[in-house]
A and B are shown apart, each in its own frame.
Chain A
Amino acid sequence: MSAAGTLAAGRARKPGRARRERRELTLIAATIATILLVSVSRHGFMGEQNLRFMILDSVVLSLLGLGQTLVIATKGIDLSVAPMLGLTALGTGLLAQGSGLPLWEAAAMSVVIGLVLGTINGLLVAKLAIPPIITTLGTYSLYSGLMFVISNGTQVDAVPHAYAVLGNGVLARFLPVPIPVLVLAAVLALTWFMLGHTRFGRAVLAVGNNSTAAYNAGIAVTATQIAVYALSGLLAAIAGLMFLCYTGSATVTTGTGDHMELQSIAVALIGGTAIAGGRASMLGTVLGSLFLSVVLTALVFVHVPPIWYSAGEGLMILVTVAAGRRAQAAARS
Chain B
Amino acid sequence: MSEWPGQPDTAPRAGTYAAHDVTKSFGAVAVLRGVSVTLHPGRVHTMMGENGAGKSTLFKILSGIVQPTAGSLSLGGTPVVLGAPQAAHAHGIYLVPQEPALMPELSVAETMFVGQLPTTGGLARRIDWRQVRARAREALGSLGLDIDVEQPARHLSIAQQQLVECGKALLYGCRIILFDEPTSPLTSHEVAHLFSIMRRLRDDGCTLGFISHRMDEVLEISDDISVLRDGVLVDTVPRERFDRVRLMSQMVGREMRVIPRRDWTAATSTVALAVDGLTHEPRFRDIGFTLHQGEILGLAGLVGAGRTEIAETIFGIRPPDRGHVRLDGDDITGLPTHQVIAKGLVYAPEDRARHGAILPMTIAENLTGGMLPRLAQRLGLIDRRNEARIGTETVARYRVRCAGIEQRLRELSGGNQQKVVFGKWMGLGPRVAILDEPTRGVDVGAKDEIYELIEGLARQGLAVLVISSETEELVRLCDRILSIYEGRIVAELSGGQITLDEVGHSYLSHAGEAA
Contacts and interface: CB of A to CB of B under 8 A. Distances in A.
Contact of A198 (B127, B150, B157): B127
Interface string B126-149: 110100000000000000011110
Given A9-B157, A197-B126, A278-B106, A213 B101 contact: yes
A137 B148 CA distance: 43
A212 interface: yes
Interface string A91-133: 0000000000000000000000000000000000000000000
A279 B117 CA distance: 18
B126 A9 contact: no
B152 interface: yes
A75 to B, nearest CB: 11
B150 A199 contact: no
A209 B104 contact: yes
Counting chain B CB atoms within 10 Å of each CB, the highest count among A16, A274, A279 belongs to A16
Contacts of A7: 145, 157, 159-160, 189-190, 193
B119 interface: yes
A218 B65 CA distance: 12
Interface stretch (B42-50, B107-115, B418-426): B107-115
Interface in A188-210: 193, 196-199, 202-203, 205-206, 208-210
B116 interface: yes
Contact of B102 (A12, A205, A210, A279): A210
Contacts of A6: 157, 159-160, 190
Nearest to B160: A9
A13 interface: yes
A210 B119 contact: no
A218 B84 CA distance: 9
A206 B103 contact: yes
Contact of B155 (A15, A17, A213, A219): A15
A205 B193 contact: no
Nearest to B152: A16
Contacts of B107: 16
A214 interface: yes
Contact of B117 (A15, A202, A213, A214): A202
Interface string B471-503: 000000000000000100000000000000000
Nearest to B114: A217
Contacts of B102: 209-210, 213
Counting chain A CB atoms within 10 Å of each CB, the highest count among B106, B115, B129 belongs to B115
Contacts of B187: 3
A43 interface: no
B152 A15 contact: yes
A205 B190 contact: no
B283 to A, nearest CB: 8
A216 B85 CA distance: 7
Contact of A11 (B103, B115, B148, B282): B148
A207 to B, nearest CB: 10
A173 interface: no
Given A9-B148, A9-B155, A205 B85 contact: no
Contacts of A175: none
Contacts of B184: none
A213 B103 contact: yes
A10 interface: yes
A172 interface: no
A8 B104 CA distance: 19
Contacts of A17: 150
B105 interface: yes
Interface residues of B, number: 40
Nearest to B156: A9
A278 B114 contact: no
Nearest to B187: A3
A14 B193 contact: no
Nearest to A202: B117
Contact of A202 (B104, B110, B151, B193): B110
Nearest to A209: B103
A216 B105 contact: no
B190 A199 contact: no
A15 B151 contact: yes
B147 A8 contact: yes
B86 interface: yes
B188 interface: yes
A1 B107 CA distance: 23
Contacts of A307: none
A13 B145 contact: no
B127 A199 contact: yes
Contacts of A12: 148
B105 A209 contact: yes
B355 interface: no
A74 to B, nearest CB: 12
Contacts of B193: 7
Contacts of B378: none
A149 interface: no
Given A14-B151, A15-B155, A202 B145 contact: no
A198 B105 contact: no
A212 B117 CA distance: 18
B241 interface: no
A90 to B, nearest CB: 37
Contacts of A198: 125-127
Contacts of B148: 9-12, 14
Contact of B104 (A10, A212, A214, A278): A278
B268 to A, nearest CB: 38
A330 interface: no
Nearest to A8: B146
B359 to A, nearest CB: 19
Nearest to B515: A3
A8 B159 CA distance: 10
A203 B106 CA distance: 11
List of 6 A-B pairs having minimum Cβ-Cβ separation, nearest first:
A3-B189, A213-B101, A217-B115, A16-B152, A209-B103, A278-B105
Interface of A: 1-4, 6-17, 193, 196-199, 202-203, 205-206, 208-210, 212-214, 216-219, 274, 278-279
8 contacts: A6-B160, A7-B189, A7-B190, A199-B117, A206-B114, A208-B105, A213-B101, A217-B114
Given A6-B159, A213-B101, 5 more contacts: A15-B151, A206-B106, A209-B102, A210-B102, A278-B103
